[in-house]
Structure 1
Amino acid sequence: MAVLARQFLSYVGVSLAALAVHYALLATLVETGRADPVPAALAGYLAGAVVSYGLNRRLTYASARPHAEATWRFGVVAAIGFGLTWLIMAGLTRGFGLPYLAAQALATGVVVFWNFLGHRVWTFAGRPVPVLSGEVPGVR
């Protein structure tokens, strides 16, 4: 349990860096009138994902999974998080009229847990060790 807690704290630290990029782009796009809050949130999400991949691979999960495998897995988990962000942002800003930063904070709260678990159990998880039939690992 302590390992999981340390890993989650590392993930939160990395997420703060990714969130800084995400929120900076979101606010810049909305406040300069270049984008509506929903597409601006999605652009921020993508920019934050780039930061998140590199830092989480190295610091949080210390993954040895090859980039060729990890990047597409990261993309699948991130795409689901992207969809969740869209649904939550659209529902809260357009459906309920919530200010975009409050809506983004709620979306972030949901998506951070999805991403942590998805990356922990699938994206960066250790690859299973193949066992030849009839052999027991560690026994000769």
Structure 2
Amino acid sequence: MDALPALARQFAAYVGVSLAAFGVHYGVLAALVETGRADPVRGALAGYLAGAVVSYGLNRRLTYASARPHAEATWRFGVVAAVGFGLTWLIMAGLTRGLGLPYLAAQVLATGAVVFWNFLGHRLWTFAARPVPVLSEGASGMR
């Protein structure tokens, strides 16, 4: 039963880090769309990438306290983020282009869906503790 409060604390830390990443994400999105430099879908994707940079550093250190080497964690983070990127694209395109929703409302819905994917992907794979190899009795020299 101690696992549930620990999971809740970790998710709360993730949400705090996510707020910082969302600030960057939404700032880039709004800046690109409002200045006419990008349509809402491209702006959302650019914002997603900028937020991902913030998310990696803070989540590695604060949320998951991971000791996984950067060389391993960064490509894993990239895979999870790429799936989230694809989900963001699908949701934003469907809601803004398909249903005509305002881009910020669509982004809020996309964020709500993607946040759970990213948390679980990073918890269970990106920043998870590395498995410890088990030596056979003969290989360890112990009897």
TM tier, smaller: over 0.9
| Alpha-carbon offset, residue 18 of structure 1 | 0.1
Q: Which runs of 4+ in 1 moved over 2 A?
A: none
Question: Once the 2 structures are TM-superposed, how far is the Cα of residue 37 of structure 1 from its aligned partner?
Answer: 0.2
Partner amino acid, structure 1, of 2:56: Y
**Alignment deviations for residues 66-121 of structure 1 (CA, whole Å, 9 cap, x no partner):** 00000000000000000000000000000000000000000000000000000000
Q: Which residue of 1 aligns with 2:132?
A: 129
Deviation at 1:58, TM superposition (A): 0.1
Deviation at 1:134? 3.6
User: How many angstroms apart in 2 are the aligned matches of 1:55 and 1:85?
Assistant: 21
Percent same amino acid among aligned pairs?
85
Q: TM-score, normalised by structure 2?
A: 0.94
Q: Take 2:5 and 2:125, find their aligned partners in 1: how far apart are those partners?
A: 20
Q: How many residues align?
A: 137
State the distance in 1 between where 2:14 and 2:35 align.
Answer: 31
In structure 2, the partner of 1:73 is: 76
Q: What CA distance in whole angstroms lies between the structure 2 residues aligned with 1:117 and 1:62?
A: 15
> Counterpart of 1:112?
115
Counterpart of 1:99 in structure 2 is 102
Q: Considering only aligned residues, what root-mean-square deviation do their CA atoms show, in Å?
A: 1.2
User: 1:1-140 to 2 correspondence within 5 Å?
Assistant: 1-134=4-137
2-structure distance, mates of 1:80, 1:63: 21
Gaps of 5+ in 2: none
Whole-angstrom distance in 2 between the partners of 1:24 and 1:130: 44
User: What TM-score, normalized to structure 1?
Assistant: 0.96
